[in-house]
Amino acid sequence: MTDSTTPPAAASAAPLSEAEDRQWASFAHLGGILWILPSLIIYLVFKDRGSFTRVESKEALNFQITVGIAYIALQIVAAILAAVTFGLGGLLGFLAPLIWIASVIFSILGFVQAKDGNHYRYPVSVRFIK
């Protein structure tokens, strides 16, 4: 025999304390070293539990999306120039590690600011997620 009652809805997660809010916000920035996944996971899991985490993880996620687009665009331009210039344009590909290094530096700066409870805005970032 089947029970026609519906199961209770899942309880929403408890709000983050101020220390936890700053901790997860700073981890969202520091996760940028590993690219987009840590920022995305923190944004999706903690955005409704802490306002500081929501703002900072969104900022970190937007920056990582921007970095990903810049990296892909650089590779496409380098491939086209390499085809047109018989390989010489491919030297433009050496900028890819510079993009990663800049991403790491800005992620660490964001981590330090968020750890202290300050908001951090990346100098170059397109706001895809509002």
Give the separation between CA 72 and CA 96, rounded to whole angstroms.
Answer: 9
Quickly list DSSP for 43-100: HHHHTTT-HHHHHHHHHHHHHHHHHHHHHHHHHHHHHHHHHHTTTGGGGGGGHHHHHH
> What is the torsional sign of CA 62, 63, 69, 72?
negative
pLDDT in tens, 24-83: 999 999 988 888 899 999 999 888 888 898 999 999 999 999 999 999 998 898 888 888
Give pLDDT, residue 112: 94
pTM of this prediction exceeds 0.75: yes
* Amino acid identity, position 14: A
Q: Residue 15: pLDDT band by 50, 70, 90 thresholds? A: confident
Q: Spell out the domain ranges in the chain.
A: 18-114
Give pLDDT, residue 20: 87
Q: What is the mean pLDDT of residues 19-26?
A: 89
Give pLDDT, residue 7: 59
pLDDT in tens, 89-127: 777 878 888 999 999 999 999 999 999 989 999 998 888
Q: Residue 4: pLDDT band by 50, 70, 90 thresholds? A: low
Pick the closest to residue 48 from 94, 100, 11, 85 (CA basis).
11
